[in-house]
Amino acid sequence: MRFEPVSRLSLGLGEGPVWDERRNLVFLCDIPTGRLLAIRLGDGQVDEWVLGTNVCSLGLCESGRLVVSLAREIILFDPETGERETLAHLDGELETNRLNDGKVGPDGAFWVGTTDQRPERQPICSLYRIGADGKFAVKKSGLLISNGLAWSPDGASMYHSDSGGQWIERHDFDAATGEIGEGVRIATPGEADGRPDGGATDADGFYWSAGVSAGCLNRYSPEGVVAGKYPLPVPTPTMPCFCGPDLKTLLVTSHRYLSQERLEAYPLSGAVLVASSPVAGVPVARMKGF
C-alpha cells in the first residue's frame, strides 16, 4: 500500500478516526489541542470544532450526533449546530487519568478506556461501557493505557489492547447484552514489532493494529498470527480506519511527539494518511438511544 497525506493537516496527536457514511466524511480528533475535525476524502476539505479540553475519541449516534469522550466527560455533539450535551462524567479514577480510545460497539453502547498520564504509569486504568442510561460500567481493570478497540464482522468478538502492557486480547462478545468473556491474549508485540495503539477490523475477520513504535500497521489473524506488516511514511501511527463508500480506503492518523531531529527526518509526522486497501473494512455501529 502507498500512503499519502489526505490534506495538509498536521496534528499533535491525531486519533479516533470514524467513517460517517451518511455525510461521506471522516471524523477524528487532535487530543492535545481539543479539536474535533471532519475530513472529506475527495478534496481534503477540513472542518473543525474546538471543544476546550482534550478530545480523546468519538463515535456515531443513530440521530447523526456524535458521542465524544473529552478528558473526563462524555458528551453528545451535533456537528450541524455545534450544540453539546453532557452524557456522563468519569468518577472514581485519579485526576491524572483521562479518557482515551473509544468506539461504539455492536451492542449500540459507547466503549471507552482510560490512560494514566503520569510519567511512571501504574495499572490503575479501566475499560468502560456507557449505554443509553449514561452510566459508566467497568468491563476491565488493571490497565496502563486502554486502547485498540474493534469488533469482528459478526460482532461476536471484541479486540482490545493495552499500549503500556503491550498486548492485544480477543474477547467473546454478546451484542445483545454487551457482556464480554474472559480475554485471550493473542499477541504481545515489542517495540520493534510495533507497540499496539488504535485498531480496526476488516471484512475477512483480521485485526489491524497501529504499530506506534515501529512506523507500521500490523494485520493479525484472530489467533494472533501476523498476516501482514505495512510500512508507513511516519514513525508513529496511532489508529487505522476503513472508510469510503466501499470501505476500501485505509486512513491512518499519527502524532508529532518526536525530537526535532526525528521530525526533520519524518516531515509527515502528524499527518492523516490514506491508501487503497486490499480488503474492505467492517462498518461501524451507531450508539442507540441518541
Residue pLDDT, tens place only, 234-264? 999 999 999 999 999 999 999 999 999 999 9
Set of cell numbers at residue 60: 456515531
Reference 242, options 276, 287, 197, 204; nearest CA is 276
Average pLDDT value over all residues in the chain: 97
pLDDT of residue 92: 85
Per-residue pLDDT tens over the stretch 80-137: 999 999 999 999 899 999 999 999 999 999 999 999 999 899 999 999 999 999 999 9
The full length of the chain comes to 290
Residue 80 known to bind ligand: no
Active site residue 101: no
pLDDT of residue 81: 98
Q: Which 8-state DSSP code applies to residue 233?
A: S
Return the domain boundaries, the chain. Answer: 4-287
pLDDT of residue 144: 97
pLDDT of residue 4: 97
Reference 91, options 126, 133, 117; nearest CA is 126
Q: Give the angle subtended at the CA of 105 by the CAs of 210 and 64, to the nearest 5°.
A: 100
| Spatial contact of 143 and 113, defined as CB atoms under 8 Å apart | yes
Residue with the three cell numbers 450535551:
85
Question: Catalytic one among 197, 202, 204, 246?
Answer: 197
Q: Which CATH superfamily is domain 4-287 in?
A: TolB, C-terminal domain (2.120.10.30)
**Environment class of 276 (CB within 10 Å of its CB; exposed 0-12, middle 13-18, buried 19+):** exposed
| Spatial contact of 195 and 213, defined as CB atoms under 8 Å apart | yes
Output 68-77 pairs: Cβ under 8 A, ≥24 positions apart.
68/29, 68/36, 69/99, 69/100, 69/102, 69/110, 69/112, 70/99, 71/98, 71/99, 72/98, 72/99, 73/99, 74/99, 74/110, 74/112, 74/130, 74/134, 75/51, 76/290, 77/36, 77/49, 77/51
Residue 147 known to bind ligand: yes
**Whole-angstrom distance between the N-terminal and C-terminal Cα of the chain?**
37
Conformational region of residue 205, where left means phi above 0, alpha means psi within -120 to 50, and beta covers everything else: left
Residue 197 known to bind ligand: yes
Share of the chain above pLDDT 70, in %: 100
Per-residue pLDDT tens over the stretch 50-81: 999 999 999 999 999 999 999 999 999 999 99
